[in-house]
Each structure stands twice: as structure tokens, then as C-alpha cells.
A and B are shown apart, each in its own frame.
Chain A
Amino acid sequence: MTTKLMNARFGGMAVLSLVLALAPLGFANAYYYDVAVTVLFNAVICVGLNLLIGYGGQISLGHGAFFALGAYGSAIATSRWGFAPLTAMAASAVIVGLAAFVVARPILRLKGHYLAMATLGIGMIVHIVLKTEAHWTGGPDGLSVDPLVVAGITVATDRQWYWLSAAVLMLAVWLALNIVQSPVGRALRAGHGAEIGARVVGIDTTHYKVLMFVVSAVFASVVGSLFAHKNGFITPDIASFHRSIELVTMVVLGGMASIFGSVIGALILTLLPQMLTAFDDYEAMVFGAIMMGTMIFMPKGLLPSLRVAVKKKLGQRS
């Protein structure tokens, strides 16, 4: 029983669905739902991003760009060209996926800090383009977006959004877990552990890294589209450096190469600013200190560190 519960694919999914189903019992008002939806959105992006960072061993400091492109893609396609929201979302995801595919090959040849710089650069360029091309994007003033309509039903209330995004998160986690457990996942881990070794035994490591880059970009794009419809209004700042950093921090804080860790990382880092508002002027200081502290004392991230601690305790007892 315990082994089955420790198994991420079965136990983890069961626990996650239980938590998602029961969480609304504790929600006092619409504000809770609203925050919960933000948590879920971030969680989906991080689950995708962790495939690239944690399993592929590649850094990206520019994923805010893919999120923003999804959001703007949906906004522009629905308002200008009269696309149905779901069609617009799919079309944006395809285009973002293609764009990610095109840049991935030259970029993923880079290593470590050079890769960090290149992805950061892409994020900055997208941010600046969104701010400048005002006739398309509305510039810094932003762009309003129509609500999401699925099968004739308008998703309007926070409660509806909660269930929709909970379903999307379950789907994302299920997809990610299957990728990780598949031959693709094994190839990625081999490439991460010893890249040259993996190449020698015939694994095209670049191919798999590119694949994960595209998958993570598509996850971000789809969430971007959802976010645009949910919020009803978007500004170029959703592509900012800060946003990209926030996403990476969630992944690393939760635990690299831990799908459920990403969900927890997204939860903590989304709630933290809400709790820190009490600190007023000291908010940024406390936030920075917590960010440094957790990384210094738990460099592997929360969930993996916790798992090691629990295992140690169980080991001592037996």
C-alpha cells in the first residue's frame, strides 16, 4: 500500500485529485477561488517547464514570453478575426509550438549560463515587441479580451474557472507523468545524467531537449490563452523578466524533476505574496530573503528534500 502511494503515477494523481476536489470546501468567498485559479494556472506552466528544466537539464529564463504569446494570440484572434476561443487557443498553441521549435535547435546547443542568457534575451525581445507594436497589442495600455465560451457555455464565475483549471491541471500532470515514464523520459534522464554517454549509446539528446522545449512552450501558451480569457485584460508585463523568473523559481523551489513538486512550488510562490502584504514596505525584502533561504538550505527543492527526510525517518524506525 505504502509503495503504491509512494508511486507518483497512481498515489500522486489520487492525492492531487482529492485535494483539488476538497479544497473548495475551505473557500469562504470568490477571492479564494480567484487565487486558487492563479495557483492552478501557474502549476500547469511549471509542470511543463519542469520537463525542460528538471528532466531535460536546460534552463529557461524566458518562458514568460510563451505565456504572453499564447495570451496575445488568443486575444487578437478572437477580437480581430472572430475566431472561437477554443480555436484561437489551439491556433496560438500551434504557432507558439512552431516558434519554439524554430528557436530551440540553435538555442539548445548552448550550455549553462549561455543558454540562460539566450532564453532571457528571447523573453526580453518579446516583451519589448508587445510593448511597442501598439496597433496590434494596444501597447503598454493593454488589450481587453472576450470571455471564454466552451460548447456554447460562457465560463464566467470564479467557481467555473476553478473546476476548468483543476481539470486542465490534472490533464497536464497526467501528460507529464506519462512523458517522464516513457522512453522519451528515460532518454532525457540519460541525457541529463551523462550527455556524451547518452549520445554514444545512440540517443539523439538534442532531439529530446527540443521536444521538451516545445512541450513546455505549448503548456505555457495554453495557460496564457486561458489567463487572457479569465482576466479579460492583458498587458505586456505578463512577458516581463520578472514573470519568467517567477516561473523558474516555482519549479526549482518545488523541486527539479518532481512533477508534484512543481504544483507545490506554484502553490507556495503564488500564495506567498498574498500573505506578505502584511509586511507592507518590507514585502520585497522578506520575499527575497525567503527565496534565498529556501534555496540555500534546500538546494534540491522542497519535495525532494522532504522525501529524503521522510525516508531517513522511516529507515531509522525499521
Chain B
Amino acid sequence: MAELLQYLFSGLTSGAIYALAGLGFAIIYNSSHVINFAQGEFIMIGGMATATLNAAGMPLPLAIMAAMAVTMLVGVMLAKFAIEPARDADVVTIIIITIGASIFLRGAAQVVWDKEFHALAAFSGEVPIKLGGATLMPQSLWVFGVSVVVIAALWWFFNRTLFGKAMLATSFNRLAAQLMGIGVKKVLLVSFALSALLGAVGGIVVTPITFTNYEAGIMLGLKGFSAAVLGGLGNGMGAVVGGLIVGIAEALASGYLSSAYKDAIAFIIILFVLFFMPNGLFGKKGVDRV
């Protein structure tokens, strides 16, 4: 029982990060039908910037703010210079543009920082909390807490603010939204800024647990994509649920089955779900117009 609880803790911790990454995919997908393969690099940049600024003597809160600002700037520039000019290109073409962007950002991180692993001290100590025979690191609580706050804030933004509703409207029908006077170009930029922010937040809270380096975003990005597809592309809550499922399944599989196959679990679940539900768990069934 204590063992199961332990696995659940670690599963929920990584699941929360996958959920944030998945949400990032969902927001960009909604505003532009683009899958941003550089989402993982947002996570990496957030973590790397905070870790290095903090190591250079900047107080943690300030380093976090700076890292979030840098990542958002990168997101906006990506939208402005790489995605907007290629709006009408094929799905494959845009996938390759964002993959090119991820290679570029990884290369830039290598130049700006280095290839080493960087650590960040836990936000509130490293004294484990005993709970039902299992131990929970305080940093894991930070991960859950921050994720819950971020997800709630996003819900509020999309359902209660005018601009959030305008973004939702754009995702349902871009042309109609444009005709109603919504600045769809601005929606694109804001969606990238938001996704970058989500990635940065995820990267910052998880770095004290996992460390980070210039390649840390690759797997996290792919897992986030898995989470988003599992929940049904474009469905925010679906991405969150998808992220948690992937995280918990991984933790259970590496605990009870084989740790070598931990990374394969996410993809096996995805294939299994897609075979039976081609639009993910909560995806809308698409209807083709002839």
C-alpha cells in the first residue's frame, strides 16, 4: 500500500508537468491548428534560465520572473517569425517548421549556456514529508500546487475574460471571429505567449527534482504531446487528464513492470486509445465537409 502510494506521488508529480505541457499544446492548437514541437524547449528554457540566473546570484523570485519573461518572448518571436508567415502551409510543413525551431532553440541553449546539467535548490527545503508510509518531497507539493493554480487561472481566463473568450471564439471559427472584430493575429501571438509561460512554469517547478540541460525538453515535449492527443486535441481539460494518466501509468509501470520500459508506456497507451478512439478520450468527432 505504501509502495502504491509512493508510485502515485511520483506519477502525479510528473503527470502535473505533462499536463502543463499538454495544455500548452492544446492552447496553440486551438488558436492556429498548429502542433508546436518546440513546446518542450519552452520547458527547458524556463528551467535553464532560472537555474543559471539563480546560480549567478539572482534571488529566486526574480530569477523566476526573468525566466518566464524570456520564455514568453521566445514564444512570441516563434509565432511572429516562424508560424505566422507559414499560416497556409500543409500540416507536415508546419510540423517541420516547429521541429526546426526546437533544434534551433536547443542549439541556442547550448551556445548561451552549455551542455552540462544544471541544478536548482528546492523552493522550501528537502525534508521529506511522511504520509501513509510513503515519503513526499516538499518540491512535489510545489509542483501540484502551482499546476492547480495555473490551471484554475487559465480556466478563469478562457471563461471569464473578454480576451479569453475571443480566443475560444477564434478556435471554433476563425473567419467568423475575424468578422466579429477579433484580432486573430493577436490571438495567435497571445496563445504562443501563454503556452510558453505554461512551459516555463512547468520547467521551473520541476527543475529542483529532475535537474535540467539543453536536451531536457525533448522527452517532456513528446509526453506533453501524448497527453494532449490522449485527451483529444484542443480539449484543455482533456490534456490535463491525459497528462495525469500518462504520469501515473508511467510511475506504476516502472514500479511494477520494468523501469526500462517506463518511457514506452505513454506511447503504448496512446496507440491503444487511438486504435479504439481515433479522436482521443474527449475529442470531438470530426465531420468532413465534402
Contacts and interface: CB of A to CB of B under 8 A. Distances in A.
Interface of A: 53, 59, 61, 106-107, 109-114, 116-118, 120-122, 124-125, 128-129, 131-132, 194-197, 241, 245, 248-249, 252-253, 256, 281-292, 295-296, 299
Interface of B: 29, 35, 82, 85-86, 88-97, 99-108, 110-111, 218, 222, 225-226, 229, 233, 258, 260-261, 263-264, 267-268, 270-271, 274-275, 278-280, 286, 288, 290
A296 B103 contact: no
A124 B267 contact: yes
Nearest to A60: B92
B99 A291 contact: yes
Contacts of B92: 53, 59, 248, 252, 256
A120 B280 CA distance: 16
Nearest to A129: B264
A295 B104 contact: no
Contact of B270 (A117, A131, A282, A296): A117
A76 to B, nearest CB: 20
Residue among B96, B111, B233 with most chain A CB within 10 A: B96
Given A113-B91, A291-B104, 19 more contacts: A113-B233, A117-B229, A125-B268, A125-B271, A128-B261, A194-B290, A197-B290, A248-B95, A252-B92, A285-B104, A287-B104, A288-B103, A289-B100, A291-B103, A295-B86, A295-B89, A295-B100, A299-B88, A299-B90
Residue among B90, B258, B290 with most chain A CB within 10 A: B90
B261 to A, nearest CB: 7
Contacts of B107: 282-288
Contacts, number: 140
If over half of B's interface residues share one DSSP class (helix, strand or loop), that class is named, otherwise mixed; here it is: helix
Given A111-B286, A241-B222, A281-B110, A299 B93 contact: yes
A111 B222 CA distance: 18
A293 B75 CA distance: 17
A252 B106 CA distance: 22
Contacts of B218: 241
Nearest to B82: A292
B250 to A, nearest CB: 12
Nearest to A133: B260
